[in-house]
Amino acid sequence: MAEKFREIDLLPLFAKGWGESDELKKEADTAPDNGQPKFVRLGKFEQNLDLYPILSVSVLGLTAEPVKLTLTLQAEFEAVEVGLKRGYIVEVGGGFCRLSALLKYGQFSFPAGVAPVDIQLNNTRRFSDPGIAITGRKSSE
């Protein structure tokens, strides 16, 4: 199951969270508006991302009430390079991520049992224009 994380494009969801960090807000405010991205290397940091899958069960034409779950993805990033332009994250390149997950139903947590997945971010990933917004910037207020 852990290998399935490699097949899902989670990077834009994590990058949206990065766009709320004070560090990137300051960097975005000081980036020159010359049409080229300003690159910032983020140090080691942790980030959680909650997703809310819904499990539907149907047997012999009978459908049970949908079960709402919480899937918390826990990521440890190191040395991720982020390209900023016009108040947006426009690309990500390099870095390392260790990703693990915890599945919960209400207050009940399912046994972990899944080893973390290590992901090397080797290739540059460019986001569609305009990119992923950096929220709460001085120049955007």
Q: What DSSP letter does each residue of 20-41 carry, written as one string?
A: T-HHHHHHHHHS--SSSPEEEE
Structure tokens at 40: 């910032």
**3-state class (DSSP) for residue 82:** strand
The more confident residue out of 123 and 55 is: 55
**Sign for the pseudo-dihedral over CA of 118, 121, 122, 127:** positive
User: What dihedral angle (degrees, nearest 10) is formed by the CA atoms of 14, 80, 94, 76?
Assistant: -60
Amino acid 2: pLDDT: 52
Cα–chain center distance at 1: 19
The yes-or-no verdict on residue 126 having pLDDT over 60 is: yes
Cut 0.95: pTM above it = no
> Is the bond preceding residue 130 a cis peptide, omega within 30 degrees?
yes
| pLDDT tens-digit series, residues 40-77 | 888 888 889 888 989 999 999 999 999 999 988 888 99
DSSP 8-state assignment for residue 5? G
DSSP 8-state assignment for residue 79? S
Q: CA–CA separation, 49 vs 9, rounded Å?
A: 13
Nearest to 87 by CA among 130, 43, 125, 128: 130
Environment class of 141 (CB within 10 Å of its CB; exposed 0-12, middle 13-18, buried 19+): exposed
